Amino acid sequence: MSSRRDAVHDTLRQSEGFRSAQDVYAEMRQTGAKIGLTTVYRALQALADHGKVDVLRNDDGESVYRACATGEHHHHLVCRRCGHTVEVAGPDVERWAETVGAEHGFTEVTHTVEVFGTCSSCSTPVGAG
Amino acid sequence: MSSRRDAVHDTLRQSEGFRSAQDVYAEMRQTGAKIGLTTVYRALQALADHGKVDVLRNDDGESVYRACATGEHHHHLVCRRCGHTVEVAGPDVERWAETVGAEHGFTEVTHTVEVFGTCSSCSTPVGAG
DNA sequence: CCGGGAAATGAAAATGGTTGTCAAAATCGC
DNA sequence: GCGATTTTGACAACCATTTTCATTTCCCGG
């Protein structure tokens, strides 16, 4: 078994936003952990493979990971500024995806939905223009 | 003469699915076009920048492009097997995204939605299994 | 405790898509 | 025709990710 994998998982849990493999690696080294980049990548992939963490691609095409509160299917509302992430459920969206797929004769329909915005803490305080 | 950018755009229009920059480059060379990889990338970026083509990332993290019928905001229903793509509108999803964002105090909400599935032509004809 | 082997680890090289560099060619204006 | 500007394209540079391969660790049996 890999205690390294747990270490990676634990590091991810300390962050509330999505982190890249490189980020996780850098952070672990900062905390004094002895671990290689390769192992971080492998741990992250294994974790994602087991549904322990969620993965998505940022605008740069990098894979970013996050230890989510639930293994259930859900989506994310991510702040563009601070990376703060909220897990959201969207039954309507699930239904919509299924419906759209069915209308066009598609089966085994899956979907990716991510919502980005600026959270209240990061919103520019309007009033002074 | 028309610029290489038009040639790239035209090549993209011949395909009904999303194509990577490398794909477009390879195809153009096959048709005898004299063009460099760099130019294809630049043309694609410029086209995407002007809203002439849509861009998204495939599972490998590559950027893939498609010349869409409309410049309006829309989503895609893509076949995993043949790449056949259907443009779909989802007013409900737009609303949902806005609502979810608002509920959590997020502003300037945007979203990415892609639906994948197997189209009727590619569905395995069950019966003898 | 000791030895063998499979799995895990990690440093470095390889891979591959994408971007940057820079000189040559095409284009435009005069 | 000439020079300035833009476009082009071969190639190097980048950088995240993967692969390679030797070493280390851990488990199991003796």
Question: How is residue A50 written in tokens?
Answer: 């087991």
pLDDT of residue A39: 97
What is the pLDDT, as a whole number, of residue B4?
A: 85
Q: Which residues contact B125 (CB under 8 A, 6 or more apart)?
A: none
B1 CA, C29 C1': Å apart: 18
B1-68 to CATH, choices 1.10.1200.30, 1.10.10.10, 2.60.120.1360, 3.40.50.620: 1.10.10.10
Cβ–Cβ below 8 Å for B106 and A92: no
Predicted local confidence at residue B128, as pLDDT: 44
Q: What is the mean pLDDT of residues A98-115?
A: 95
pLDDT at A125 exceeding the cut of 90: no
Residue A15: C-alpha distances to residues A8, A20, A66, A82, A116 (Å): 11, 11, 8, 12, 18
Question: Which residues on A lie below 8 Å from B120 (Cβ)?
Answer: 104-107
Counted residue by residue, chain A has a size of 129
* Residue A101, pLDDT above cutoff 90: yes
Shortest CA distance from A97: residue in chain B: B115
What is the spatial distance, in angstroms and rounded to an integer, between the CA atom of A73 and the C1' atom of C8? 31
Report residue A128's pLDDT band, with 50, 70 and 90 as the boundaries.
very low
* Fold match between domain A1-68 and domain A72-129: no
- Up-side HSE of residue A127: CA atoms within 13 Å toward CB? 3
Which pLDDT value is given to residue B13?
94
**Exposure of B14 in the CB half-sphere (CA atoms within 13 A):** 11
pLDDT greater than 90 at residue B98: yes
Domain A72-129 is found in CATH 3.40.190.10: no
Residues 64-123 of B with CB within 7 A of strand C: none
Give A9's contacts (C-beta < 8 A, 6+ positions apart).
A43, A47, A52, A53, A67
- Higher pLDDT among residues B101 and B129, named by residue: B101
Q: What is the pTM of this model?
A: 0.89
Please report residues of B whose CB lies closer than 8 A to that of A114: 111-112
Domain chopping of chain A, boundaries: 1-68, 72-129
The yes-or-no verdict on residue B126 having pLDDT over 90 is no
D19 C1': nearest CA residue: A38
* A127 has a pLDDT exceeding 60: no
The beta-carbon neighbor of A106 closest among B111, B113, B118 is B118
**Cβ contacts of B61 on chain A, cutoff 8 Å:** 57, 61-63
Lowest mean pLDDT among A1-5, A80-84, B108-112: A1-5
Q: Would the CB atoms of A77 and B106 count as touching at under 8 Å? A: yes
pLDDT of residue B125: 64
Average the pLDDT over B20-29 and give the result: 96
At residue A129, does pLDDT exceed 50? Answer: no
User: Mean pLDDT over residues A52-65, rounded?
Assistant: 93
Q: Tell me which residue in A62, A106, A117 faces B106 most closely, judged by beta carbons.
A: A117
Chain segment A11-27, per-residue pLDDT in tens: 999 998 999 999 999 99
Q: State pLDDT tens for residues B37-46.
A: 999 999 999 9
